[in-house]
Structure 1
Amino acid sequence: MRYRFLLFVWAVCQLPAIAQTRISAHRGSVPGLPENTLATFRAVLALPVSYLEIDVRTTKDGQLVILHDGNLDRTTSGSGPIRDLTLAEVKQLSAGKGFGETVAKERIPTLKEVCQLLRDWNQNSPRKVHLYVDCKEVLPKPLVEELAEFGLLRDAVFYGPDEFLLALKAVFPQGKRMPALKNADELPAKIEKLNPYAFDVRWTALTSELVQQIHARGIQVFSDALGFFENADQYRKAAQLGVDVIQTDFVLRVNQALKTEK
């Protein structure tokens, strides 16, 4: 009996720790600064975040860059698909569209530039920040290689379509994969297929029962409080449900709400 008990304790200790609710900065959002740029990433690292969410895409010449949209039109001075441009061409564009002259010189960053920034931060700060990688248009192998180069691979969380995460699993089995989850019915198949570190659960699908089901399997719960759900009551509700990571465009607003929840 004692041996079985010790074996059970050992098994439980291998499960990911379910800690207090943490914050992920959506596209590095800081008010007044353009999304997915080094300017907003530098600023957000000084805020109480645990994850920096980035969107990774690939240029015509195979370079990994950070941009949410497939097209350049909304956030840059360019137009058309970013995959049709080389990195040199991409670097000629301003990534500060709509934010005035003060950030007009901001450029679309490469993944390596973001990794360098984050590695330097983590080496000089007692509060570590990890990458939440939204894999928009990228192959697993070069993504894994670049993150490994900067020592950020082990703690990065990867979000993307199930097919991409399955390919990532083949390249880097130890990766922290995070598929989307719409409802509890999807749990068994996705766990069997992907062995996820976390689920990205739709905010409207969050219930105490679903969070408990996921946690019971040693899996974490991430959720996006974007748009309509960006308010203190919703943040506190998520914390009460046991959500592990809230992704937000308003880091300080979430932090204040979580403080009052304690």
Structure 2
Amino acid sequence: MITGHRGAAALAPENTLISIQKAADAGVSWVEIDTQLSADGIPVVFHDETVNRCTNGKGKIADLTLAQLKSLDAGSWFGEAFTGEKIPTLSEALDTCLALDLTLNLELKIHHEEHTAPLIDAVVALIKEKNYPIDKLLFSSFQKPALERCQQQMPEVRRGFICEVWNDYSLTSIAASQPYSVHIDHRILTPTIAKSIKDAGYVLKIWTLNNVEKAQHFYDLGVDSIITDKPDTF
């Protein structure tokens, strides 16, 4: 039921290989990470549009080559023990997940609409090149066009729609991409919303819950999966 968020974001610098390892050490079977493209078109694992918060560098991921990104320290901001940790390529992260027997919730991090097609094309090409096991993968995104493109290019991979708002039209609006799951901000999930999502036949995931005392409440609402920074606690 527990998915480690950005690896295990409370235990190690988010979206790094050591963070994925920490999630596995905590005993989870699912991990969530983010991917976007470097300036030279390589899928890397990173959440923010810029490297400013989580490295010792500055600038947008989309403006920096893989070599420039690999030159950055992506660990010391979190703690001295993680100094020298690198931004992983998606290829490296996939290998790590496979080695640790983790199922991957891969968020396609799209900061600008024009990045949608290049990112998905590159990710799909990589998954096919590696012959990555489909049962160990789920694509997720806030962007419906991204999920629809995933469906067109690799329909056999499960898709999850991420949202932080929900209204009467939400279920209708996501139907075209035929998602497997809905990933909703736990702060907006009500019994009525939970019931509508479950009644529609979707797997229900919430993000990012770090208060373990609230877990039972969400379980009672029918939540199937909790995405958390603290997989060890849960």
TM-score category by the smaller chain?
Answer: 0.7 to 0.9
Partners in 1 of 2:137 and 2:212 — Cα distance? 27
Q: Residue 183 of structure 2: SS of its match in structure 1?
A: strand
Q: Residue 49 of structure 2: SS of its match in structure 1?
A: coil
- Amino acid corresponding to residue 208 of structure 1 in structure 2: P
1:50 and 2:29 correspond: yes
Q: CA 1:150 to 1:110, structure 2 compared with 1: closer, same or farther past 3 Å?
A: farther
Number of corresponding residues: 224
Partners in 2 of 1:225 and 1:153 — Cα distance? 25
Q: Deviations over 1:165-216 (max 9, x none)?
A: 1111111122211113433513442343121100112313323343233223
Q: Residue 36 of structure 2: SS of its match in structure 1?
A: strand
Answer whether contact 2:204 2:223 (CA < 8 A) is retained. yes
Answer whether contact 1:131 1:152 (CA < 8 A) is retained. no
Q: CA 1:37 to 1:180, structure 2 compared with 1: closer, same or farther past 3 Å?
A: closer
Answer whether contact 1:130 1:152 (CA < 8 A) is retained. no
Aligned to 2:103: 130
Higher alpha-carbon Rg: 1
TM-score (norm 1): 0.78
Aligned to 2:200: 217
1:237 to 217, 222, 228: 217
RMSD over aligned Cα atoms: 1.9
How far did residue 82 of structure 1 move? 1.3
Q: Deviations over 1:120-169 (max 9, x none)?
A: 222xxxxxx21111111462122122234152444322221111111111
When structure 1 is superposed on structure 2, of 151-160 and 194-203 the one drifting more is 151-160
2:230 to 246, 250, 260: 250
Answer whether contact 1:119 1:150 (CA < 8 A) is retained. no
Q: Residue 179 of structure 1: SS of its match in structure 2?
A: strand
TM-score (norm 2): 0.87
- Amino acid corresponding to residue 138 of structure 2 in structure 1: V
1:114 and 2:97 correspond: no
Answer whether contact 2:23 2:232 (CA < 8 A) is retained. no
Partners in 2 of 1:100 and 1:47 — Cα distance? 19
Q: CA 1:75 to 1:188, structure 2 compared with 1: closer, same or farther past 3 Å?
A: closer
Q: Unpaired segments of 5 or more residues in structure 1?
A: 1-21, 123-128, 255-262
Q: Unpaired segments of 5 or more residues in structure 2?
A: 111-117
- Amino acid corresponding to residue 34 of structure 2 in structure 1: D
